Amino acid sequence: MINHSNFICLHHGSLIVQDLEQAIYFYCQVIGLEQDRQRPDMGFSGVWLNIGAQQIHLLALPATEQAIKQPEHAGRDRHLAIHVRELDTIKEKLMANNIRFTMSRSGRKALFCRDPDGNGLEFIAIG
């Protein structure tokens, strides 16, 4: 039997990206995440991005999957969900950079978009 009290929180999620500079621009300049400069040399390019105590690891590696048709609404696909204090800031930055997004279909204060490599992201307003 698994002791569920042993699990504390998610440490990081990894996303594969093809153009690391474009991904860094999206995540740092558009979304507003901060890069963690303590990433060790791992034998391939990538960056760690801080989200509170958790991280997103961007891995500049060859794509591991064949091109697939992704649904427009990233909530119906694999995605990372991130709590944000205010959704309007994210919306404004996405619109200013001509990045398509959809609002949550459940009525929650949440929006979905894709990064330049098609990775799904959900931003959920807390409070």
Q: How far is CA 45 from its chain centroid?
A: 18
Q: CA angle 48-53-59, nearest 5°?
A: 20
Q: 34: domain CATH number?
A: 3.10.180.10
Tokens of 24: 């860094």
Q: Which domain holds residue 43?
A: 9-61+70-125
| Chunked mean pLDDT (size 10), the chain, 127 residues | 73 94 97 95 94 95 73 79 93 96 92 94 90
Beta bridge partners of 101: 113
Are residues 87 and 101 in contact, defined by beta-carbon separation less than 8 angstroms?
no
Whats the size of the chain, residue-wise? 127
Amino acid code (one letter) for 119: N
User: Domain tally for the chain?
Assistant: 1
32 located within any domain: yes
Q: State the pLDDT at residue 102.
A: 95
